[in-house]
Each structure stands twice: as C-alpha cells, then as structure tokens.
Structure 1
Amino acid sequence: MQKHKYPQKWDLDSLFKTLGELAQHIALTEHMVDNLVAEAETANIHNPYETKKLLDSLGDIRIHLSQASSFTACLIAQNSRDPDALSLQGKTAALNSRYDKSEKLVQSKMTTLTSDAWEQLLAAEELDDYRFLLNEWRKKAKWQLSEKEEKLLADLSVDGYHAWGQFYQTLMSSIKISIQLDGTEKEMSVGQAINLRSHPDRTVRKRAHDALEGALKEKEELFAKVLNHIAGFRLEMYKRRGIDNVLEVPLQENRITKETLVTMWNAVTKYKAVFAGYLDHKAKLFGNDKLQSYDFWAPATSTPQEIPFDEAAEFIIEHFGALGTEMKDFARHAFENRWVEAEDRSGKAGSAFCAGFPLSGESRISMTYGRSISNVLTLAHELGHAFHNHTMKPVGGLNRYYPMSLAETASTFSELAILNAAYEKADSWEDKRFILDEKLKRSVMNFMNIHARFLFEERFYKERQSGYVPAERLNKLMREAMDEAYMDSFGSPSARSWIWTPHFYLTKSPFYNFPYTFGYLFSQSIYASAKTKGPEFEKSYINLLRDSGKMTVEELVMQHLGGDITTPGFWEKGLQLCAREAEEFLGLDNGL
C-alpha cells in the first residue's frame, strides 16, 4: 500500500487569507443583522411567505456567524496570546449577542399569535421545513422576557458572561507545566501533560499527575472565580426567566425529556458493578487496593505500540471505508487538505475540539497528537463531528444546529468503529487485551467519569444558589462525586478536574456531560445497525444525521432505529454489550 505523508498543521488561510478579510466578513454579517432587524419590525408574521423569508435570513446569518466564530476559536487555539485574534473574538461575541437579540425579536413576534393563527401558520406548505423549530420556539416562549430586558441581558452577557468563558480558555492555554522527562526538565501545556497519562513509565505518569495538580492548585482560586461568575450569571438569568431548575434548559436544548435522562442514569448505575470489578482487577496488577487515577490510562502492555500520525490517518480512512465510501472519501479529503492541527507543541489549547465552518462546508480539528492509541481515537472522535457537519451541508441554516446529545453520538460512533476495527484486526492475546482495555476505559469514562461530572455540576449549582463556592469546597464536591460515581473504586482522583474540564465553563449551556454518555450508548445501537444493514447502512446513517436538527431525540431514535429511549431496555442493550467486554477482559487475564 502506498504510504502518504499527511501534514500535522492545519490550513486556515483557505478560509480567510488575512485578518482583514475576516474583518470584512464580520462587517458584512453585521449588515445582514441590521437588515434582518428592519425586516422583522415590519414583517406580517401571519403571512407564511414573509415568515419563511425571516427564518431563511436567520439561518443565513447563523452560518456566517459560525464561520467567523470558528475561525477566531482556531486562531486562539493555536496561539492563546494573539492580540488580533482576541480582538476579533470580542467582535464576534458582540455580533453573536446582536444576532441573539434579532432572533428573539422574531420569536417574540411569533409567540404573539393566537392559537388559531398559529395553527394556520404552521399548516402552510412554505413552512414545512420549519414546523418543528417553530413549535420549539413556542414552548420556550415562557422563558421570554420583555424586549428591553432581553436587550439588557444580551448586552451584559458579552463582557460579563461570555467574556468569562473566553478568559478561561486564555488562562488554561497560558499555563505552563514543568515535568522531568527523559532526564531533562520540559515545559508543557495542559494538553501535553494530560497526554502523559498513557505513558508506559509509571514514574512519568505520576510525575505528570502531580505536576498538573500542583500547577492547578496555584491558580485554583482564580479558576473558582471564573466558574462562580459564569454560574452566577446563568442562575440570575434563569431566575429572571422563571427557570427554577438549571437542568431544565440543557434538557430542552438536548431535546430529551427528564424521563429519558433519569432512565439512562438508572440503567447505567445498575451495571456499574462489573466496571468497578474491572478497575479493582487493574489495581491489583499495579499492586494497589484501588486503582490510582494516574494508572487508569496506562497501557495494558509494558511496550505499547507507538502509532505515527500518518499510520493513524490511513487506519481511520481504511476503516471509515468499511462503513461507506462517502465516509472514507471525507476522511481522506480532511487529511489531505490540512483540516487537522495535531502538532505536539506547547502553547496550544488544552482540549481537542472540532470547529465547523458551514459557509464553506468545511471543519477544522485541533488536538495534540502523542502517538498513542488514545490519540488515534480522539482523532476519530473529532472526525466524527466533522462528518456530521459534512452531512448537514444540504440542510437549511436553522435546521443545521443539532443538540449536543446527537453531536456526541456521531463522534462516539466514529471512535467506536475505529476501536472495534482495531480489535478485530488484533491477532494475538496481548493485542486483543490491549484494545479491549482501551474499549473498557471508554466505558468507565462514560458510565463513571461522566456521571461524576454530572453529580458535581448538579451539586455545585445547588450550592451556588446560596452564594460563592470557594475552591476548597469545589475540590470536596469533586472528590465526593468521583467516589460515588466510581463506587469508591478509584484512588487519588483528580480533585481539581473541575478546572481542566472545559465543559464546565461553556457559556452556551450547562451540563455538557450527560450527552457523552447518551452518545456512547446510542452509538452502540447505531454500530449494531451498521453490522446488520451492510452497504445500505451509510445512506441510512447520513439520513439520521441530517434529521438530527429537525425532531426530538425520542422521535429520531424511534423513526430511524425503532427504539424507545424512555424505557430501560433500550439502554440496557448497549450496557450489556459493554459489560460482556469487561467480563471478556477478566477472562483473558484469568487465562479462560
């Protein structure tokens, strides 16, 4: 097979050649918002044609905004101190706020319609593609404030709310961690230090764990202020909107019911014991009663295989191809056209992400590639996000935006496909054990670690309602959540993981945690469908992704998989598959 050389630095110039070009794009988008506001004020909302025109304009503006916001995020990810990028990020944040106000203006006009007028409007053929979205807006009308109050909140959020989220990214990217490695003191980013969790040398893993905890301890009060200010603003905003439970908004935005979420967590808890047994078994391999957190990502073999970036790219391309030609061609195009920033260097963003550029129909991926199987899977995960973006190109602007639960389904499915392919390719006991261990790590992360994040965030917001929560208390909440979620089977958990978990600092919505567990289990069902459908799978999968912005998740699963996610049985099918893998791993180690 011909060997390819894939670049590890992304190409941003093909999106905007200069910062001046980006500034012109932002100015154009501002003009589009001005025109929309003028149209919205005079539009006859009873007229389906005029309503459709407004909705089309909103979608078009959103696409232009995403293009600018994603670009500035990429600039800051590669250099957190770029003053021009930080300035443009401020401009795009302000423009996003203006867009939010214009969208709320359109929504407020919609919600003034009587029930009869509303039904008549929805019956119009012109609005077929927007019917689900309009009904969602109608449900959210109870949260709507007066136009004056909405404007005030939007204005305050730019420098108060969203600015704290942006400050977190800048602060995290600026942290330098000194670690003794290969006989020399090396300065690393948070992302590089986290990558050392899978280093084969236990001394290096512990050293990286301690150095990361030490660096974060020095700044924990500063991070506590950031987190408290984000949560405080959110709670005040929700209070003004009449939202009593902070979980109400993420449930609505994820388009799932509380019944579904409770059913999923109950099913997960029912099956946790087998994964606690897996952790206890691994602890004994390291000579401990409990598995130390810095040993969790340790390779299952003493000489783990290092995987060059080019080899990882070829493996992903090949096995995306087993799912369909479009996925294979897409992955190759992404690698060949420099959509991935994978270079292992300091100064980069600590966490991997995928940024969508809907105007040009592209994506960009940022990560720190450290040649481990974990890095390969992260790469596949982010490409799953990018493929989801790719499938949405024919979809209208407003319907391109899907909930986090489904975003994490697409990414986790891609990761699962690569992991299963690696397992099927393994031909020795040692290789099978290594890959099976990697699969189980992901089950533990989704069933235990993500549950810990959920419990932490739920309890933090409850306490934040009564006032400021200091760093010491946040550390205690994190430890308690970890002990409960891991069934007390984890030693030395990172009490400061609330600092290096960026999801707690997202200003769009709280509780960016349960969507991962949802996506992990949902992806198991989709993968099972891929195995049974064969060549027909890719078409049905793309249709599912394209519908991800047009219906509730309960409706989507029922329509495309015939499953009822409000029942324990749906979740237990995936959990049983994962539990069998834990039993198989223990069987391999016991020589069965």
Structure 2
Amino acid sequence: MTICQPRPLFDANASSGGSLGDLPEWDLSDLYTAEDAPELTRDMEWLEQACASFATDHQGKLADLDADGMLGCVQRYERIDTIGGRIMSFAGLRYYQNTTDGERAKFFSDCQDKITTLTTPLVFYTLEINRLPDEVLDGWFAANADLARYKPVFDRLRAMRPHQLSDELEQFLHDQSVVGAAAWNKLFDETIAGLSFDVNGEELNIEGTLNLLTEPDRDQREAGARELARVFGDNIKLFARVHNTLAKEKSVEDKWRNMPTPQTGRHLSNHVEPEVVEALRNAVVDAYPKLSHRYYALKAKWLGLDTLEVWDRNAPLPTEDPKTVDWAEARRMVMDAYGDFDPEMAKIAEPFFDKGWIDAEVKPGKAPGAFAHPTVTEVHPYVMLNYLGKPRDVMTLAHELGHGVHQVLAADQGELLASTPLTLAETASVFGEMLTFRKLLDNAKTKAERKTLLAGKVEDMINTVVRQIAFYDFECKLHAARAEGELTPEDINALWMSVQAESLGPVFNFMEGYETFWAYIPHFVHSPFYVYAYAFGDGLVNALYAVYEEGDADFQAKYFDMLKAGGSKHHKELLAPFGLDASDPKFWDKGLSMISGFIDELEAMED
C-alpha cells in the first residue's frame, strides 16, 4: 500500500503570523508503537510464513478450486495484503514526518526491500487468475455470493490481461522494483526535502519559500520566486536525470506490456475509459479563455497591473485581510460546515482531531504538501498537513479531512475493495472544501469579504482544474518526447513553458528561471498522469453540488452510499442515482460552468 499523493505544491499557501495554537502530531501507535515493537516483528514473521504457504497451497492450482475454495484463497490474500499494508503504512508515515532522518529512511527502505522479497511468491496469483476462462469465474460468482462480492477486484485484475507478461518477467519486475522507480522516487523526495533557500538572509525549506508566493508584499513574493528559480536551476540536471530515467523505465515496461499509450496504465488503474479523460481534457482546454484567462485579467486590474508576473498568480487581493487562522478556529470552521451538511459527517471527522490522526505542524525534513493516507481498513486513516494559518490552509484541512471521512466510510468494504480509483478518490475531499467554502460565503458580512472568498475559491478551482490539465498535457508531451531520445534540461524546460502561456493566458509575463518550475512537482515522479484526477474530481463535485443545491431530499443518503462503496462500483454506477454520467461530454461543461459563474459574479462586482 502506498502513501496517497500530496496535493500539488502550487496550492501551498501562507506564512504564519503569530501563534497557531497547539498543532496536533501523529500518534502512530495504532499501527505499531515503535520500529522495534514485538508486534511488528511478529507480523513480519507471519507475513513470511503466510506468503510461502499461500504459494505452496495455491500455485498452479487455482483452476481446480471450487467457489468456496476460491473464496478462502481470496480471503487469505486479503489478509496478507492487510498485514503488509500495515507495516508499510507505519514505515512510510514515520519517514514522511522527517525524510532527512537517516534512521527513518533506512527503516522505510529495509521494510520495502523485505516485503518485496516476502511477497515475490504471490506474483503467480494475478497471472493465474488472468489465464482462467471467463466461464470459470462466472461459475464461481454464481455459486457463492460472498465470492461474487469480490467481482470488481477480479474485473480490475483481468483488465490487465492483454498487458500481462510471462510469470518469470512479472516476478523479475516485482523483485527489481525497489531499485527502480522506488529508488528514484526516494532520491527525489530526499532532494526536495533537503533543498535550502536563502530569502533576504532567512534560510527556508521549499514549503516556506513557496508560501512566500502568497504574501501581500510584492517584493517578498518576487524574492521567493527568484530564489526558487535559482535553487531549481542549480539542481536541474539531477531533476532532469530523475525524469529521464523514470520516463524511459515506464516506456520500456509499457512496450513489453503492449500498452498503446503512456497514459493507458493510469486509465486502467483508475477504471476510467480513455475517451472520458480525453473529453475532460478537451472541455477544460477549450474553457481556458473563459476561466483562467478571464480571471487573471480581472486580477491584474485589481492589483493595478498591466501584466502579471508568476509571483502574482497566488497573490492576495489588495482588499484581503491578511489574517491568520489559528488551529482551533480552523477546526471549528470545517467541523461546522461538515455538521451543517450532516451531523454524521462531523462525527466521523471528530476523532482525527482528538486521537492523533493529524500531523499539522511544519517541521524540518517533513514532506511538503498535504495528504490523507488510508493505512489499512482495520486501523484508520492519517492526515498530513503543513499548517501555516492562512484561510486557504483551512481549505486544505477541509480537503484532506474529506479524504479521511471517505476512507473511514469505505473501510467496511475490506482491504481489496475499499480503495477508490483516483478519479473518484477526490470526490469527498473536493466536496468537503465546497461545503466549507459555501459556509464561509453564506456568513460573509460585507461585499469585500464575499469578493475575497469568491476570488480565493476561483483560484483554488483554477489550480485544481486548469493547472492540473496543463500539468497533464506537460506529462503527455514529456513522455512522447522521451520516447524519441534523451531529454536535456532545456528540452524539458521548453515543454513546460509550452503549456504555461496557453493555460494561464496572455496577461502573464514569465520571468527567467520559471521554465524550471516543473522540477519539484511530486506527481510527475511518483504517479505519472495522476494529475487529471484532480480535475476529474473537481468537475464531478461541481456537478454533484448542483444536484445538492437543487434540493434532492435523499442527497445525503445517496452521498454516503457513494462513499461507502469505495472501489466496489464503476463511476457510471455511482453517479447514476444523482442523474449524472461522466461519459457525457456535456457533464464536464456543467462542472466548468460553476467556475465560470463565480467569475461572472466577480465581474459584476466591478460595476
């Protein structure tokens, strides 16, 4: 099991202006009390025995099982997945608390290595399932309702049938993974966490420097942007090497697997059709002029500028009160919004604050950004923030807490069915943000306060939709170019800039050095083509929220049912009760019209 991806660092905000109160820290003891805990040793020993005996009992024999026997096999596999996920969750979360700590990094790597070795005997399982005739599986499902519940798991496995390699090659890829992509991922993480920036004599990490881009003082924003460019430029050869290597490795594996495009693997894992993603991408790109181009032209007017520099993109409005929101107030704001939607949602969210399920403070070496990690279904999720007290940090709390609520509700599906495809994984998080935003908007006391809230939401939505689709286009170009040969840093820089002017609009001027800003986006490294999931989730939630506003009396019940389904249903099945269909190109226009409507309201305020 992997750590969920952090939100894009372009959404990072704020520098604290005073005490934020007592910021919570993770209590990981619900997983294990320490790296040398006897329970962890016991579980690692159990895992070794369980993997070996599973292979002894079932390898080469799956086709001979009856439905009851296959159910027992699946349940054994699920238990192995749970124990392995528990160990890696503990090791990973400790590591992300301080990625520059050598002991934590070693422990994480050692666990990764050992579990990769221990689970090698399981490689046969998926391969044999995919060699079975359809009628065998159909017979199993007809004979045993408990096994039929796992049909979505089998469907996702068998979607990979055309791309499956020989048993020996699959085992080789499994074994070498720890020195392949995983090792390059770790190099990237440790390099990013270890970068040091000097802004006006103050030494900052990457999170603190990015946060300067939202400061009211324009000179401070510029200083932050130029220092980011300097440090990225100094390290650009390393980042280019990471991207070249990972893109080539992916290309090699895709070739062997007969993947028609670099994006195919992501679409398969997301259980979404390529044409649906293409419809989303095209709808967003077509909407650039009426969304980002129009909004940023409006923002330039507010700031009294003819053109915007990159350091103005996330600048606060001149009328914005640069207030700091302490932790207690942030908690109250989000919990009130959740509770107003449904008291049950607030009840599910409450333990995150009270039981050490959130790590909020910015600390040296801590991974940047924010994420929610589900761990395993028999424990609970953990949320990581880098909370610095700006209003947008409150939105990040609402976002990650939405993930947490979703993960809690889906846990009853069990380890193999709880995990949601990325395209649907952002649903509860973005919906939680929308609830919090609408609550704040309803409580706005003045026109200026309403304008500030609307502008902040539009910027967040542009970051989530427009910017992520631009990121997706950059990745598509990067992988296509890498297929033709090695890319120099200058080649990658040019690809990055080719999507920036198109997505942000003609009002922007791009400083020298901005061409390197692709270097620190973690999604390009950890999860190629992940980023469209953010746009998918935002568009989906905008459409969902429109149904909610129309007054569907059963909306809350339908919404909770959708979250409880986890990964057990396709997006068509999940959205049908709301009268929505993501495969309809007009679906995306409906979602984008909400952003456009907010910009309409902002323009009307100018009259």
TM-score class normalised by the smaller sequence: over 0.9
Q: In structure 2, give the amino acid aligned to 1:403.
A: P
Find the counterpart in structure 2 of residue 282 from structure 1: 299
| Range that drifts further, 415-424 or 515-524 | 415-424
1:124-523 to structure 2, matched below 5 A, reads 124-125=143-144, 126-180=146-200, 185-275=201-291, 276-300=293-317, 301-492=319-510, 494-506=514-526, 509-523=527-541
How far 1:274 moved relative to its partner?
2.0
**Structure-2 separation of matches of 1:149 and 1:171:** 32
Find the counterpart in structure 1 of residue 8 from structure 2: none
**Structure-2 separation of matches of 1:338 and 1:201:** 36
**Structure-2 separation of matches of 1:31 and 1:85:** 26
SS in structure 1 at match of 2:279: helix
Matched, 1:68 2:84: no
Matched, 1:582 2:595: no
How far 1:109 moved relative to its partner?
1.7
SS in structure 2 at match of 1:512: coil
Contact 1:369 1:375 in 2 (8 A): yes
Find the counterpart in structure 2 of residue 32 from structure 1: 50
Q: Pick closer, same or farther for the CA change 1:488–1:94 going to 2, 3 Å.
A: farther
Q: Pick closer, same or farther for the CA change 1:422–1:165 going to 2, 3 Å.
A: same
Q: RMSD between aligned alpha carbons? A: 2.1
Matched, 1:550 2:568: yes
How far 1:248 moved relative to its partner?
0.7
**Structure-1 separation of matches of 2:364 and 2:110:** 27
| Range that drifts further, 97-106 or 510-519 | 97-106
**Structure-1 separation of matches of 2:545 and 2:396:** 18
How far 1:385 moved relative to its partner?
1.2
Q: In structure 2, give the amino acid aligned to 1:566.
A: S
Contact 2:417 2:567 in 1 (8 A): yes
Give deviations 1:199-250, integer Å, cap 9, x for gaps.
1211111111111121111111111111221111111111111113111111
Q: In structure 2, give the amino acid aligned to 1:187.
A: E
Find the counterpart in structure 2 of residue 93 from structure 1: 112
Give deviations 1:547-572, integer Å, cap 9, x for gaps.
231222233222x3221212222111
Give deviations 1:307-334, integer Å, cap 9, x for gaps.
1111101111111111212211122211
| Range that drifts further, 479-488 or 228-237 | 479-488
Q: Pick closer, same or farther for the CA change 1:374–1:195 going to 2, 3 Å.
A: same
How far 1:54 moved relative to its partner?
1.9
How far 1:344 moved relative to its partner?
2.9
Identity within the alignment, %: 24
How far 1:489 moved relative to its partner?
4.0
Q: Pick closer, same or farther for the CA change 1:437–1:96 going to 2, 3 Å.
A: farther
Q: In structure 2, give the amino acid aligned to 1:137.
A: L
**Structure-2 separation of matches of 1:531 and 1:360:** 35
| Range that drifts further, 88-97 or 462-471 | 88-97
**Structure-1 separation of matches of 2:341 and 2:22:** 22
| Range that drifts further, 152-161 or 289-298 | 289-298
Find the counterpart in structure 1 of residue 31 from structure 2: 15
Q: Pick closer, same or farther for the CA change 1:5–1:530 going to 2, 3 Å.
A: farther
Contact 1:7 1:338 in 2 (8 A): no
How far 1:532 moved relative to its partner?
4.6
Q: Pick closer, same or farther for the CA change 1:27–1:220 going to 2, 3 Å.
A: farther
How far 1:256 moved relative to its partner?
1.1
Q: In structure 1, give the amino acid aligned to 2:400.
A: E
Q: Pick closer, same or farther for the CA change 1:194–1:524 going to 2, 3 Å.
A: same
SS in structure 2 at match of 1:365: strand
Q: In structure 2, give the amino acid aligned to 1:68.
A: I
Contact 2:222 2:311 in 1 (8 A): yes
How far 1:31 moved relative to its partner?
3.0
| Range that drifts further, 487-496 or 325-334 | 487-496
Contact 2:371 2:400 in 1 (8 A): yes
Q: Pick closer, same or farther for the CA change 1:97–1:346 going to 2, 3 Å.
A: same
1:106-121 to structure 2, matched below 5 A, reads 106-121=125-140
**Structure-1 separation of matches of 2:579 and 2:116:** 39
Give deviations 1:329-371, integer Å, cap 9, x for gaps.
1222111112221113332212211222225432222221111
Q: In structure 1, give the amino acid aligned to 2:424.
A: L
**Structure-1 separation of matches of 2:117 and 2:579:** 41
Q: In structure 2, give the amino acid aligned to 1:242.
A: N
5+ residue gaps, structure 2 = 1-19
Contact 1:39 1:54 in 2 (8 A): no
Give deviations 1:344-402, integer Å, cap 9, x for gaps.
33322122112222254322222211111111111111111111111122112111121
Q: Pick closer, same or farther for the CA change 1:529–1:104 going to 2, 3 Å.
A: farther
How far 1:138 moved relative to its partner?
2.0
Contact 1:188 1:346 in 2 (8 A): no
TM-score between both structures, scaled by the size of structure 2:
0.91
Contact 1:93 1:162 in 2 (8 A): no
Find the counterpart in structure 2 of residue 57 from structure 1: 76
**Structure-1 separation of matches of 2:203 and 2:232:** 15
SS in structure 1 at match of 2:149: helix
